[in-house]
Amino acid sequence: MKIGELASATATKVETVRYYEKIGLLPPPARTSGNYRAYGSEHLARLSFIRRARDLGFTLEAVRELLTLSDDKAQSCEAVDGIARVHLTEIDRKVTDLTALRNELDRVIGSCRHGTVADCKIIETLGPRVRANIV
Amino acid sequence: MKIGELASATATKVETVRYYEKIGLLPPPARTSGNYRAYGSEHLARLSFIRRARDLGFTLEAVRELLTLSDDKAQSCEAVDGIARVHLTEIDRKVTDLTALRNELDRVIGSCRHGTVADCKIIETLGPRVRANIV
DNA sequence: CTACACCCTGTAGCAACTACAGGGTCAAGC
DNA sequence: GCTTGACCCTGTAGTTGCTACAGGGTGTAG
């Protein structure tokens, strides 16, 4: 398999595949006589794994750990579970934060009376608390 | 006001203040005889605005636009409203995506039977669809 | 007068790619 | 046999929004 084929099979860009190789996530494949990368099914499997984990929001470092763990089939699955749970907690925090921010922004937008910028409540909300002695 | 004072007044790091100056978000202040930056209340106001907008998740580019708009007090507030609404839509999309991802991850974790990695449902879920003819 | 907190510039680093520049390879069509 | 065009190669620089030095200078308190 050439890099373009591997890339399209995993919905990845060619540059990203090379990047994963460079940072050691994807092992360097064999080369053809013309110096083209020649991938096998094990590369396809590994890259699929990486992409799936990335889609679930795992960082590349987490993916690296998961890959290492998944290579040792005899090991307990607890470490894997742990990584996933930590990640879940992080996502929950993000959703909470983002929802709070969303509501705040919604409130700010709702206050807009569509006048001029001078009266704009959005700008006003963003601006500093104006004290009387500061013009 | 020295840079450290401005920074702590706006809960910003000193390096970040200098960074905002470098990218043209914050105008270069006057300098003291010792070449220290000397800020006035207009800098404090502007930096407060930037931080508030950043806290609401606006990108620096959006902040730049908002600052430009807020400088023209006579202008209609519609452009401001537009930027904020686009941003709100983006946040909504993010929350939706993140929630879907969260549930997917929760499902994956829930399937964990705490055995060995060989039987780990998490790893399995991340791996490629295994077809019979590929070992 | 010396210690220490603060300031200065400039550069490099972070995640996770993405986008060139400037070349080489390969298969198809004439 | 030759050209065209799609693909591949390496290497470097850009993206966002900072953060962290390195290697200096300034200002003030004891």
pLDDT digit string (tens) for B71-129?
Answer: 888 788 888 899 999 999 999 999 998 998 889 888 888 888 788 888 888 888 787 65
CB atoms inside a 10 Å sphere around CB A72: 12
Out of A52-56, A104-108, A112-116, B98-102, which region has the weakest mean confidence (pLDDT)? A112-116
Per-residue pLDDT at B59 = 92
Co-location of A51 and A81 in the same domain: no
CA of A18 to C1' of C23 (A): 18
For the CA atoms of B17, B21, B24, B25, the dihedral, rounded to the nearest 10 degrees, stands at 30
CA distance A45 to B83: 43
CA distance B1 to B71: 23
CA distance A82 to B10: 38
Out of A52-61, B14-23, B27-36, which region has the weakest mean confidence (pLDDT)? A52-61
Co-location of A95 and A129 in the same domain: yes
The confidence band for B131, taking pLDDT boundaries of 50, 70 and 90, is very low
Co-location of A55 and A83 in the same domain: no
Co-location of B109 and B67 in the same domain: no
Co-location of B68 and B80 in the same domain: no
Co-location of A47 and A92 in the same domain: no
- Return the higher-pLDDT residue of B132 and A81: A81
H helix or E strand, kind and range, residue A30: strand A30-31
Question: If we measure between CA atoms, which residue out of A1, A63, A66 comes closest to residue A29?
Answer: A1
A24 CB less than 7 Å from any atom of strand C: no
Cα dihedral across residues A31, A34, A40, A45: positive or negative: positive
Give A34→chain B minimum CA distance, Å.
Answer: 28
CA distance A29 to A38: 6
Co-location of A66 and A106 in the same domain: no
Number of structural domains (chain B) is 2
The confidence band for A104, taking pLDDT boundaries of 50, 70 and 90, is confident
Co-location of B130 and B82 in the same domain: yes
The confidence band for A27, taking pLDDT boundaries of 50, 70 and 90, is very high
Co-location of A52 and A3 in the same domain: yes
Co-location of A97 and A131 in the same domain: yes
Task: Say what the ipTM of the complex is.
Answer: 0.79
CA distance A55 to A62: 12
Single out the residue in B20, B42, B72 at which a domain terminates: B72
Co-location of B4 and B64 in the same domain: yes
- For the domain that residue A34 is a member of, what is the CATH number? 1.10.1660.10
- Return the higher-pLDDT residue of B75 and A22: A22
**Protein CB footprint (7 Å) on chain D nucleotides:** 7-11, 16-21, 25-27
Q: What average pLDDT does this structure show over A84-97?
A: 91
Domain coverage including residue A116: 76-135
- Provide the angle, in degrees to the nearest 10, between the axes of the packed helices A41-55 and A60-71: 130
Co-location of B87 and B120 in the same domain: yes
Per-residue pLDDT at A115 = 82
CA distance B30 to B10: 19
Q: What average pLDDT does this structure show over A36-49?
A: 95
Single out the residue in B21, B39, B72 at which a domain terminates: B72
CA distance A60 to A68: 12
Single out the residue in A38, A57, A72 at which a domain terminates: A72
Percent helix, strand and coil across chain B, each to the nearest 5: 65, 5, 35
The confidence band for A10, taking pLDDT boundaries of 50, 70 and 90, is very high
* Nearest nucleotide from residue A34 CA, by C1' atom: C25
